[in-house]
């Protein structure tokens, strides 16, 4: 082995869901939004003056943080933006989780937490979900170097109430608590109002799901000015120009169209409700979904088999070959037409 190889940082990367090239695929595997972004986004791109691309974008991303501050009723120095919430979360791990004590997160959750902790050599202890796949708040009352969990959780789609989040935050005044609200817009109550009361709470959200901008990569964090300043200091020690001009302009345009946002959310939650019933009629069950995806298990057919059969039929869903959840499928809520293709295939499959 060459000597340089000994010095490599050994990592076990996160494995994202498949991104097929074909647009024929019914793609229900990465929790993308099936509807296009707000019309203002296309307009912003068409009207973009390409001459501005000669220049670096504003390092403080002020255009976007100003609109976010207004939309969420906070001061501009309580807003941080990044290249998708993955960037915001990764930067937050680097900034806030710098203790010898282990950070805590659920054992069944967003798989990237463990990857960042390993990459950054942050000690961690995974806290098991209970038998009904719920977080147990008392597990997060022990000594720790920080806490992170999604609400709703992924891949279960289970939402915890605001009181649950507040209990965890109030028991941990000496740690930063990160609530990953990637899916909060699909019917949950955000922990955002709590940031005025707790200066150690960071709320992270994304434009990838509810605002149909996964391809543009925009995420943000809201928290006390002290947390945001710490994040900016670390960001500016790593890469000052994270957000492209296109991201700043399209993100702003998406945020300004509240009516379109509400309409899209309405359509997705309606389709989700129908999906619960249609899938139940086919023998599926699972926790009440509060994100833009369902987490379901079938009464007789193994999830692994269904996953493969669906894939063969160009219907992509997500399957996790992991203890306790290896008989579940995670199905993103698509358009009614896409969902109809899913039900039709399953109905057919059940007959054989």
Chain residues that interact with ligand PMP, rule: CB under 6 A: 84-86, 110, 150, 154, 180, 182, 206, 208, 214, 219
Q: Give the H or E element holding residue 23.
A: none
Q: Position of tokens 């403080």?
A: 60
Smallest distance from the beta carbon of 2 to ligand PMP, in angstroms?
35
| Position with the least CB separation from ligand PMP | 84
Q: Judged by CB, which is closer to ligand PMP: 87, or 139?
A: 87
Smallest distance from the beta carbon of 330 to ligand PMP, in angstroms?
10
Residue 12 CA to residue 318 CA, distance in Å, equals: 20
Smallest distance from the beta carbon of 104 to ligand PMP, in angstroms?
16
- DSSP conformational letter for 201: E
Q: Judged by CB, which is closer to ligand PMP: 80, or 110?
A: 110
Q: Judged by CB, which is closer to ligand PMP: 85, or 271?
A: 85
Q: Position of tokens 């501050």?
A: 69
Smallest distance from the beta carbon of 113 to ligand PMP, in angstroms?
9
Residue 105 CA to residue 149 CA, distance in Å, equals: 6
Q: Judged by CB, which is closer to ligand PMP: 144, or 205?
A: 205
- Map residue 227 onto helix, strand or coil: helix
Q: Which of 95, 58, 22, 75 is nearest to 242 (CA)?
A: 58
Give the Cβ contact number of residue 23 at 10 Å: 6
Q: Judged by CB, which is closer to ligand PMP: 37, or 150?
A: 150
- Map residue 262 onto helix, strand or coil: helix
Q: Judged by CB, which is closer to ligand PMP: 219, or 289?
A: 219
Backbone angles phi, psi at 204, to 5 degrees: -115, 130
Smallest distance from the beta carbon of 344 to ligand PMP, in angstroms?
28
Provide the token pair at 129: 């979900």
Q: Judged by CB, which is closer to ligand PMP: 172, or 332?
A: 332
Smallest distance from the beta carbon of 178 to ligand PMP, in angstroms?
10
Q: Is 343 exposed, middle or buried (0-12, 13-18, 19+ CB in 10 A)?
A: middle
Q: Judged by CB, which is closer to ligand PMP: 83, or 169?
A: 83
Residue 221 CA to residue 92 CA, distance in Å, equals: 9
Q: Is 118 exposed, middle or buried (0-12, 13-18, 19+ CB in 10 A)?
A: middle
Give the Cβ contact number of residue 110 at 10 Å: 21
Smallest distance from the beta carbon of 299 to ligand PMP, in angstroms?
27
Q: Which residues, including other chains, have CB under 8 Å from residue 61's CB and lie 6 or more apart?
A: 81, 242, 243, 248
Smallest distance from the beta carbon of 181 to ligand PMP, in angstroms?
8
């Amino acid at each position: 082995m060459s000597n340089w190889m000994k010095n490599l940082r050994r990592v076990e990367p996160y494995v994202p869901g498949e991104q097929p090239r074909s647009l024929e695929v019914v793609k229900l595997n990465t929790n993308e939004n099936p509807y296009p972004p707000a019309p203002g986004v296309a307009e912003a791109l068409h009207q973009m003056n390409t001459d501005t691309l000669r220049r670096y974008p504003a390092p403080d991303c002020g255009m976007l943080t100003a609109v976010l501050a207004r939309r969420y009723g906070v001061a501009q120095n309580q807003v941080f933006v990044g290249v998708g919430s993955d960037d915001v979360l990764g930067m937050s791990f680097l900034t806030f989780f710098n203790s010898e004590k282990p950070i805590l997160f659920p054992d069944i959750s967003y798989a990237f937490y463990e990857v960042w902790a390993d990459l950054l050599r942050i000690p961690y202890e995974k806290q098991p979900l209970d038998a009904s796949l719920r977080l147990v708040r008392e597990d997060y009352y022990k000594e720790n170097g920080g806490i992170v969990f999604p609400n709703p959780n992924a891949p279960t789609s289970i939402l915890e109430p605001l009181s649950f989040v507040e209990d965890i935050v109030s028991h941990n005044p000496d740690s930063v608590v990160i609530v990953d609200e990637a899916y909060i817009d699909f019917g949950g109550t955000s922990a955002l109002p709590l940031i005025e009361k707790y200066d150690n709470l960071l709320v992270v959200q994304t434009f990838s799901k509810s605002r149909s901008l996964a391809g543009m990569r925009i995420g943000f964090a809201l928290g006390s000015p002290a947390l945001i300043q710490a994040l900016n200091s670390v960001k500016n020690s790593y890469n000052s120009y994270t957000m492209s001009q296109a991201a700043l302009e399209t993100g702003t345009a998406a945020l300004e169209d509240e009516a379109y946002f509400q309409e899209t959310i309405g359509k997705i939650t309606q389709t989700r409700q129908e999906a619960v019933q249609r899938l139940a009629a086919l023998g599926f069950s699972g926790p009440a979904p509060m994100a833009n995806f369902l987490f379901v298990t079938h009464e007789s057919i193994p999830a692994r088999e269904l996953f493969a059969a669906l894939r063969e039929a160009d219907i992509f869903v997500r399957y996790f070959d992991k203890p306790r959840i290896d008989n579940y499928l995670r199905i993103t809520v698509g358009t009614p037409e896409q969902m109809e293709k899913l039900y039709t295939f399953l109905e057919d499959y059940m007959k054989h």
